[in-house]
Amino acid sequence: MAALVLALLGVVVVLAALVAVGLTLLLRAMRPLRAGQGQPVGSRYLAETEESVAALLATADEATTEAERSRAAASQARTEAAAAKAEASAARAEAKRVLDAAHTEADTILERAHRQAEQDAEEARQTARRSGEREIAMLTATAREQAADAERRQQRIDERERLLAEEAERLAERDRRITGAESDLVEREGGLTLREAGIAEAEERYRRELERIAGLTAEAARQELVEAIESQAKREAALLIRDIENDARSTADQRARHIVVDAIQRVASEQTAESVVSVLHLPSDEMKGRIIGREGRNIRAFESVTGVNLIIDDTPEAVLLSCFDPVRREIGRLTLEKLVLDGRIHPHRIEEVFELAKQEVERLCDRAAEDALVEVGITDMQLDLVQLLGRLRYRTSYGQNVLKHLVETAHIAGMMAAELGLDTALVKRCAFLHDIGKALTHEVDGSHALIGADLARKYGESEEVVHAIEAHHNEVPPQTIEAVLTQAADACSGGRPGARRESLEAYVKRLQRIEEIAAGKSGVEKVFAMQAGREIRVMVKPDDVDDIGAAVLARDVAKQIEEELTYPGQIRVTVVRESRVTEIAR
């Protein structure tokens, strides 16, 4: 710091000297001008030069003053530097003293640590010695105990060997006795063989004597006995079956009737019978001519595009649409309705409106399927399966709408499942999908139950649902309670009054076949089909059929009807056996 100050002072002094030299040279240069020229311009210039020189001299004086102050500051800095050197010397001395004291303290602590380590090592050696002595004592005691255990074990082994030797002696004695007994048995067996031969001879003589007295052979007598026992067993079995059925009916029928009736009563669904003909009302009879078109081109185009037969007769302000496919018939009806409202009827327009009607029917089918799912309470189902369900909106079975039938069946099955404490959601799903195969019955060959099972399996339904679908018409024997409830709910929905209708021809054929089945049994005198085929009464001959035979006959007729006929609901078989005794009083 002091050296820097001295350097600055030197620079200032040099600058001052240079300024002084410059001023001197300037004054010397101005003297000739002052002597040789007296013009005013030179005087002014000289005056200005003198003023400049005076200013420079003043600046030089200030610089000199500043240099003196700097010299004083440098002197003070040298003084402070000397003081700092003295303090640094004192600090070094103090540090040396502290370092010496620290070395001394460290030597003391190290010596103390050496002594402490020696003491600890001595204590550890003593502790280890005491531990070793204790372990040696424990090992010695353990060895003594093991020796004592080995001695006791050897004693037990010796005792066991002695007992085994005694047991071997007893077994040898037993073998000798068994050998003697076997020889005795051989002798007795020989005697018994001789006795059996004598008994067989006696039995043969006795049998021959019995055959001679009875006039029958043993085979014929055995056959008569078997027939008697068989008839007796059948009679007892019939009595047992009747008692079991009566007991079952007294409880099961009442319980089942309560569940089924309660489920049916709680379901209030409307039912309308649909046919294969739809009627479209027209604003006027003039529209019929426009529908027919010139030379019948419009009606021909309509029938070829829609696949629906259009019947135009003398019925005022109405035309008929006939088609066995209800979906196609509905598309045709909407097409004709839109054409009548629009008023433009020609082949090209018919094709355009047909496409619009087709899309509208598809939307209506999807909406109907979604509404049915919401009503039943099913939320998760494949979209393709939902579309197939929507097609059932226009399908009918014996006049009963299939989609409404599925909803009604699901409600009935769910109520019965709730009464029985089962999984209501699963049973509802089984019942709701049981007729899904009817959406493809005309497109795929086979029973709608098996087709529906394949569809359900294809779209990821569970095995319980698939089995209930394929077993609801006994194509596959039902093996789960869900399948049985699906059958019962289907029968309740289809068999209730007014639910379904059938053709007169099928109805008459069914009644005739029922009467033929009952009349073909032995002992039957008359057969009457009553209550529109819901009940059949069989009159039997009392001399040919007894009470037990009447029960067997009713069971056989019911079984045969179940196996051969298809019918909604159930058919009651009643066998009437009437005995009359007539006497004349004279």
* 70 close to 9: Cβ distance less than 8 angstroms: yes
pLDDT of residue 39: 44
Reported as a pLDDT band with limits 50, 70 and 90, residue 200 is confident
What is the chain's mean pLDDT, rounded? Answer: 78
pLDDT of residue 37: 44
pLDDT of residue 40: 45
CATH classification at residue 581: 3.30.70.1350
Beta bridge partners of 537: 528, 574
For 58-98, write each residue's pLDDT tens digit. Answer: 665 676 677 677 677 767 877 876 777 787 788 778 878 87
CB atoms within 10 A of CB 504: 8
- Torsion 257-258-263-269 (CA) sign: positive
For 343-396, write each residue's pLDDT tens digit. Answer: 888 888 888 888 898 888 888 888 888 888 888 888 888 888 888 888 888 777
Beta bridge partners of 397: 400
Q: Which amino acid is at 562?
A: E
Overall domain count for the chain: 3
The answer to whether the pTM exceeds 0.75 is no
Report whether pLDDT(456) > 80: yes
Domain annotation covers residue 459: yes
Of 23-37, 454-468, 526-540, give the lowest mean pLDDT range.
23-37
Q: What is the DSSP string of 382-415?
A: -HHHHHHHHHGGG-EETTEEHHHHHHHHHHHHHH
Q: In what order do the strands lie in the sheet with 277-281?
A: 277-281, 318-322, 309-311
The domain in which residue 67 lies consists of 2-208
Do 289 and 145 share a domain, yes or no? no
pLDDT of residue 47: 61
pLDDT of residue 276: 52
Q: Which amino acid is at 534?
A: R
CA–CA distance, 393 with 264 (Å, rounded to integer): 22
Reported as a pLDDT band with limits 50, 70 and 90, residue 41 is very low
Do 482 and 540 share a domain, yes or no? no
Of 88-92, 156-160, 402-406, give the lowest mean pLDDT range.
88-92
Percent of the chain scoring above 70 in pLDDT: 77
Residues 248-263 as b/e (b if ≥16 CB within 10 A, e otherwise) read eeeeeeeeeeebbeeb
Reported as a pLDDT band with limits 50, 70 and 90, residue 547 is confident
Do 78 and 192 share a domain, yes or no? yes
The DSSP letter of residue 522 is T
User: Would you call 567 helix, strand, or coil by DSSP?
Assistant: coil
CA–CA distance, 369 with 365 (Å, rounded to integer): 6
Do 484 and 535 share a domain, yes or no? no
CATH classification at residue 308: 1.10.3210
List phi, psi (to 5°) of 536. Answer: -130, 130
For 424-453, write each residue's pLDDT tens digit. Answer: 888 889 988 888 888 875 566 777 888 888
Angle of CA points 503, 507, 512, to nearest 5° = 150
For 244-284, write each residue's pLDDT tens digit. Answer: 777 766 666 566 655 655 555 555 444 444 455 677 778 87
Reported as a pLDDT band with limits 50, 70 and 90, residue 34 is very low
For 202-249, write each residue's pLDDT tens digit. Answer: 877 777 777 677 666 667 777 777 777 887 787 777 777 777 777 766
Q: Which of 475, 495, 515 is the last residue of a domain?
A: 495
Report whether pLDDT(38) > 50: no
Do 314 and 458 share a domain, yes or no? yes
CA–CA distance, 23 with 63 (Å, rounded to integer): 15
Where is 31: in which H helix or E strand? helix 2-36
Do 423 and 541 share a domain, yes or no? no
* 432 close to 465: Cβ distance less than 8 angstroms: no
Do 382 and 405 share a domain, yes or no? yes
Do 461 and 551 share a domain, yes or no? no
Question: Which region holds residue 343: left if phi is over 0, alpha if psi is between -120 and 50, else beta?
Answer: left
Do 472 and 563 share a domain, yes or no? no
Do 512 and 452 share a domain, yes or no? no
List phi, psi (to 5°) of 446. Answer: 125, 170
Domain annotation covers residue 394: yes
Do 381 and 418 share a domain, yes or no? yes
Domain annotation covers residue 267: no
Where is 7: in which H helix or E strand? helix 2-36
Return the higher-pLDDT residue of 130 and 75.
Answer: 130
Do 461 and 555 share a domain, yes or no? no
Report whether pLDDT(508) > 80: no
554 contacts: CB under 8 Å, gap ≥ 6: 538, 573, 574, 575
CA–CA distance, 562 with 564 (Å, rounded to integer): 6
Q: Which of 445, 477, 495 is the last residue of a domain?
A: 495
